[in-house]
Amino acid sequence: MAYFEPGRRGPPAWLVFLAAGALVIGGYLIWQGLQSFLASGLRGVMEATQVAQATATAYVQPTSTLRFTPAPTWTPVPPCQPFRVTVPEAIIRECASTRCAIRDVRHEGDEVCVLERDPVNTEWYRVDLEASAFFLDLAFMHESVIRAVNPTATPSRTMTPLPTLTPVPSYTPLPTPPPTVTANPATPPTVTPTFTASPTPPLISG
């Protein structure tokens, strides 16, 4: 073991040995790290190049075709027909049945916007509670609680007389004329003998 002597300068030998070992080990570790960095850097560059090529190929040669679905056409709201409530309280339901939930109540004399009759339950009307041209608030009312403000006139039934039948004339045969006898020139005419009465002698009396 070394000791410091008076008047001697410089670090001890063991400290120099430790410092030299630390430098060697540090240099080795730095060299290993540099190699790893270079290898990972090159690998990263290669991977980035491959990704760029794959991306460019994907854009140049698409694997699928985009299809655009057309938007649904807008269905116009049927025209509003004014109806008036004819009962003290008219129930408005969510569907065309008495089992459906109640949406609202209208009182006698109130007007409602009727759109049309329900195609399934024709005793019920489809009504628009908001009566707006842009927003349809659909509900249902029975025909027994409302009446049209301007009912459409129903044409009266007109009796059309039957056409007059003209009798067809009956067929009457025409009289047949007697046959005409035509003499045959080759046959001699038949002579009918004529009898002449002889005179009666006078009666002489003696």
Q: Is the pLDDT of residue 122 over 80?
A: yes
State the amino acid at position 160 in one-letter form. Answer: T
Strand partners, 112: 83
Specify whether 37 is located in the same domain as 92: no
What's the CA gap between 53 and 59, in Å, rounded? 10
What's the pLDDT at 159?
A: 64
Report the domain count for the chain: 2
For residue 198, give both structure tokens: 């002889």
**What pTM was estimated for this model as a whole?**
0.40
Specify whether 85 is located in the same domain as 144: yes
Domain with 130 in it: 81-148
What's the CA gap between 86 and 90, in Å, rounded? 8
pLDDT category, 153, cuts 50, 70, 90? low
Specify whether 42 is located in the same domain as 93: no
| Domain termination residue (choose one: 148, 181, 201) | 148
What's the pLDDT at 152?
A: 72
- Domain assignment present for residue 20? The answer is yes
Q: CATH number for the domain including 143?
A: 2.30.30.40
**pLDDT tens-digit readout, 156-177:** 555 666 677 777 777 677 777 6
